[in-house]
Each structure stands twice: as structure tokens, then as C-alpha cells.
Amino acid sequence: MIASVRGTVLRTGLDSVVVEVGGVGMLVHTTPGTAASLRVGGSATLATLLVVREDSLTLYGFADDDEKSVFETVLTVSGVGPRLALAMLAVHTPDAVRAAVGGGDLVALTKVPGIGRKGAERIILELRDKIGVPSGTLVVGQPATAAWQGQVRDALVGLGWTTKQADDAVEAVAQAGPAPDASVSALLRSALQVLGR
């Protein structure tokens, strides 16, 4: 297994780079953000994962081990391949992926090209207990913004409100600036008060 590569950048593309390692140019598929951060002639160190298929050996590269870890975890979802997992990291940071999955935020996940509502639901179902919580950005007891919004939205829809009404109520609560230690149930009550006006 090729766990990382370090060498001179020979070429950069939209979503890939070629890194010279020991005289061999290795094509590494990355997110557009990672590719854009590297310069031809400069040195690069990328955490990598080699994906082996019957007809190919494909190397995927990441800015750090956290991105690689989220990528590997997302690959465990049935129907999600390396390209889709990489697209998730192109749209969201690893912590944003964790917050979206942990909070059941379908809207955030469907922003990724290739992920529809059913795919997002499957990702949430299969990863909720595997992906962990965002690292270092959350205070215990404080829901992530995306997390509480997704939970409150889903609860409102479950109570019979339309998706548009639920989105509007969540937006109103978010704009009001809820207390940092507010629980999801308190935020739901606030959204219900908005809808009751």
C-alpha cells in the first residue's frame, strides 16, 4: 500500500497532480483545492490511498491524514466510489462532512455533484456511527450549525410542515442568533414559535 508520496511536482491539473518520486512520475488524483495549492517545480507531500480494481491501480492524494480518513470512511458506503468520495471532499471540509452526516443534513450532502436525496440518506444511515464528530470545533452540548439545522428541519417536516416552511423557520432561528449552548429541542421550540406567528 502506498500511504504517502513526497517529491517534486511535475504537473498539476484541475483534479490531479504528477509527483516525481524516486525518478518515477506518479499520477495522484486530488481535490481541486489540493491541486491548486501545489506548484510545478515545488515539493509536495500528500497522504495517499491506492485503490485497486481489476483493470486499474489509482492513487488518490490528500492534503492531510484527516482528509484521507474521511475519504476511506465514505468509501465504506454501498454505492459510493472513490470519485464520489473525492467530490465530497472537494465541496466540504472533513469536519463539514462529519457535521452534515452527524446532523442528518441532506441539503449539505446533496450539494455534492452526483449525490441525490436517496444517496444522501444512505450516506447518513451508513456513516452516522462511523464518521465521528468534527474535531476541535464543537463545544460539548453545542450542536454544529449544520447539524442542528438539519435536525430541526427534519423534525418540522416530520410534524407536517412543508420543506419550504421548515427551511424558512430554521433560517429565521439561525438569523436570530441562538444561544451557543442551546439544545436542539430548544431550537425546535423556537422554530415552532416562528411558524406559529
Cell triple for residue 196?
406559529
In order of their start, the domains of the chain are 4-62 (2.40.50.140), 65-127 (1.10.150.20), 145-195 (1.10.8.10)
**Confidence bin at 103 (pLDDT 50/70/90):** confident
**Hey, which of 19-28, 90-99, 168-177, 187-196 has the most confident mean pLDDT?**
19-28
pLDDT at residue 141, as a whole number: 37
DSSP string across the chain: ---EEEEEEEEE-SSEEEEEETTEEEEEE--HHHHHT--TTSEEEEEEEEEEETTEEEEEEESSHHHHHHHHHHTTSTT--HHHHHHHHHHS-HHHHHHHHHHT-HHHHTTSTT--HHHHHHHHHHHTTTS---SSS--TTPPPHHHHHHHHHHHHHHTT--HHHHHHHHHHHHHT---TT--HHHHHHHHHHHHT-
Q: Taking residues 90-117, what's their average pLDDT? A: 90
pLDDT at residue 150, as a whole number: 76
Which has the closest alpha carbon to 9: 58, 50, 61, 56? 61
Q: What is the pLDDT of residues 140-177, one digit of tens each?
A: 333 445 567 877 777 777 777 788 888 888 888 888 77
- Residues 169, 14: Cα–Cα separation, whole Å: 39
Q: What is the pLDDT of residues 115-125, one digit of tens each?
A: 999 999 999 99
pLDDT at residue 137, as a whole number: 45
Q: Taking residues 167-188, what's their average pLDDT? A: 77
pLDDT at residue 173, as a whole number: 84
Q: Average per-residue pLDDT in the chain?
A: 85
pLDDT at residue 21, as a whole number: 94
Q: Taking residues 100-104, what's their average pLDDT? A: 89
**Confidence bin at 180 (pLDDT 50/70/90):** low
